[in-house]
Amino acid sequence: MAITEKQIKATFDAIDTDKSGKLDKKEFTTFCKRFGNRFSDWEINLMIKIADKDGDGISYSEFKHYVLDDHSHPSKDDLKKIFKACDLDGNGTVSKGEIMQVSRFLRRPMTEQQANQFMDKYDTDKSGSLKWKEFKKIWIK
């Protein structure tokens, strides 16, 4: 059964506790927990970065788009946000260690062997870390 726009609006209104018309991190976190999901702070921050297109809180329009999107084909802007979130040290690349850390944050830990295989496949210049152009090829075929 598909969710209706009326249900999305009612959900948004229920979690917008300060009635500002925008969801802040606290309200969005409450929404995530209300549905029994145990997201890490890292995951919640990433979801907020993806949902909040203009950085001023999640509007109803942004919330509706986020809820209805299947997230299997992220936009280029969303991919850049994911890349920056995975680049834990902020050096502009994603290392094997960062991939392993992110996989633990997502509660899908990789073994050293799996991380090596991942890097062998996607680190095409064999530099030991993924640059933006290598990272986006994971998602964009």
Reported as a pLDDT band with limits 50, 70 and 90, residue 110 is confident
Q: Could you give the CA distance from residue 7 to residue 46 in angstroms, rounded to a whole number?
A: 24
Residues 75-101: tens digit of each pLDDT:
788 888 889 888 999 999 999 999 998
Instruction: Choose the final residue of a domain: 17, 40, 68.
Output: 68
The CATH number linked to 84 is: 1.10.238.10
H or E element at residue 9: helix 5-15
Whether 108 shows a pLDDT value over 80: the answer reads no
Q: How far apart are CA 114 and CA 122, in angstroms?
A: 12
Residues 28 and 80 in one domain: no
Query: Do residue 17 and residue 63 come from a single domain?
Result: yes
Provide the residue count of the chain: 141
In the chain, how many domains are there? 2
